[in-house]
Structure 1
C-alpha cells in the first residue's frame, strides 16, 4: 500500500508523532505508491490543520500544489471536503486556487459544486478575481455558471449579490448562460433566482437553443411552466429549425404538449401531430 510511518501518523492525526518523525528526517513529500498522497493531501482530506501546519514548516512553498496520482492538489481536496482551516493554511503558504485538477476544475469550481457558501465567503472577496474566464476555450466556465448548475442555491445567490452578471455567456464556443446551466441541472430554485434577478429566458446558446429547449429536453414540466411565466418563447427555432414545441412533439411528451396547447400565445401553432 506504500504507507510510511509519517503518512500513517498523519492519517491518525497524531501531531506529536508527525513532529518527531519529521525531526528524525522523515520526508513530508514522500507519497503513497497507490494514490500519490503525501502528508499535505492527507490533511486536505482529513481537515487536520495542526498536522498540516507541522508539515508545511518542512516544505517549500512550491511543494504546496503537488498533485496526487488522481490529479488533485491538497487545496482541491480541502475544497471538496469543506475543510476551511486547512484551505486557509494552504492559501497562506501559496496554494494556487486556480490550478486545474484532473477534472479541469479549480478550487473555486470544486467548492461551488458542493454549494459551500462558507468557503466561498472565505476566499471570494480576496481571491475571486483570480478565476478569470477563458472565453475562447470550450469547457471553461465562469463561477456563476458552475454555481447555477449545482444542486444548491446558496453560492449562486452570493455571487449574484456580489454583482456577477446573470446573462454572461460561459465562453465563445458554447455561449450558454447561467440559466441554461440551471435548467439542465433541473434546479428550479436556481432557475427562479436567476429569472427574478433579470436573466433573459430567451437568450440562445451557440446552436440557437433558448432555456425552453433545454427544459423540454430534460422533460421538466414545472420548469417549463416557470419559464413560460417569465416570457420564454417555446416557438423560437434553433439552428436546426426546431423549436421547443417541436422537441416536445418529437419526444412524445404529452404533458408538456398539453401545457403548450393551453397557452393562448401558441394558439396559431400547428399541434396536429399531438
Structure 2
C-alpha cells in the first residue's frame, strides 16, 4: 500500500480533481511539494486540467509557489492559458502571477492562449498587462500565433488593443499575413487585409510572398482573395527564381495549378531561373504522378530541357 504523500497518488488525485481525497492525503503527508513529470508541481497539474478549486487549495492552504517553473520554464499560468481554463487564469492573475513570464523558447502565457480560439482568456491576460508585441525565439508575436489559428475575432481584438502588432516579422522575415495565408485562414486574411498595411507582395527572406504560400498549400480561395483585394502578383519570383506555379508543382497542388494556368493565364512551361526547371520538372522530381498528368493536360511540354539538357521524363 502506498505511503501517505506518494507522488503518484497525489498527482492522480489532482488530475481527477478529487479535492476531498487530496486534502486527506496531504494532511497525512504533511507536505504538498513533490516533483512530477518534467518537473511539474501539483499546481502545474491543477492549472493544466482546469481544477480551480484544487489550485486555490494548494496555494492558500499549502502556500505553493504560483511562479514555480518546470523543466521547460512553464509556470502554472502558462498551463492554464494554453488550455483555455479561464477560471484558473483569472485566479492566478488575481494572486499576482507574472503576466509576461517566459517559458522555454520565450513563449508568454498570452502566446500560449493565442494557440486556442478563446478570446476571453486573451482579454483577461491583456487587461492584466500582457504585452502582445513581445516575441518568442523565432520572432513571432501574439498576432503571428493568432493568425495561424485564424479566429477573426481574436485578430480584431489584438489589433484594437495594439494597432501596431501587425508591423512585425519573424526572424526569417515572415509576417502574420504569410502565416494566415499558409494555413488557409480565409477570414483571418480578410481581417489582416482590412486592418493592416502590408505590401502587395511582401516577401520573406526566401522571397516567398503570401500568395505563394497560399498556392503551394492549396488554398485557392485565399490566393484569389489576395489577387482581388491585395493586388498580389501571381508571376512574382522567390529568391531561387521560382514562381507560384513552380511551388504548387513541388507540393502537388493540382487544383492550384489549374487555377494558375486556366484562370490566370500562367505559363505552364514557365522556367525557374537560373535552373530553367519547369513545373513539370519539379512535379516529376517529387514523384507527383497526378500532378504530372494535370500539367500535361494543361499543355506542359514533356520534352523541355533543364540547364543540364535533361528532359522532364528524365526526372521520373
Question: Does the aligned pair in 2 maintain the 1:209–1:238 contact within 8 Å?
Answer: yes
Query: What are the equivalent positions in structure 2 for 1:171-210 lying under 5 Å apart?
Result: 171=204, 173-197=205-229, 198-210=231-243
Superposition map of 1:1-274 within 5 A: 1=36, 2-11=39-48, 13-19=50-56, 21-23=58-60, 25-33=63-71, 35-59=72-96, 63-69=98-104, 71-134=106-169, 139-162=172-195, 164-165=197-198, 167-171=200-204, 173-197=205-229, 198-228=231-261, 229-245=263-279, 247-248=281-282, 251=285, 254-261=292-299, 273=311
Shift of 1:17: 5.0
The structure number with the bigger radius of gyration is 2
Return the structure number with greater relative CO, CA threshold 8 A, min gap 6.
1
Residue 23 of structure 2: aligned partner: none
Q: CA deviation at 1:12?
A: 5.1
Range with greater deviation from structure 2 (16-25 or 103-112): 16-25
Q: Which runs of 5+ in 1 are unaligned?
A: none
2:22 is aligned to none
What is the number of equivalent residue pairs in this alignment? Answer: 263
Q: TM-score, normalised by structure 1?
A: 0.80
CA distance in 1, matches of 2:232, 2:40: 51
Shift of 1:145: 0.9
8 Å CA contact retained: 1:65, 1:96: yes
- CA, structure 1 residues 270+69, in 2 after alignment: closer, same or farther (shift >3 Å)? closer
Residues 135-181 of structure 1, C-alpha deviation per residue, up to 9 Å, x if partnerless?
xx75121111111101332211222233544623233x322211111
Distance 1:175 1:54, change over 3 A: same
Asked if the contact 1:201–1:231 (Cα under 8 Å) also holds between the matched residues in 2, the reply is no
Q: Is the 8 A contact 1:184 1:218 kept in 2?
A: yes
Q: Is the 8 A contact 1:215 1:223 kept in 2?
A: yes
- 1:226 deviates by 0.6
**What's the CA shift for 1:79?**
0.9
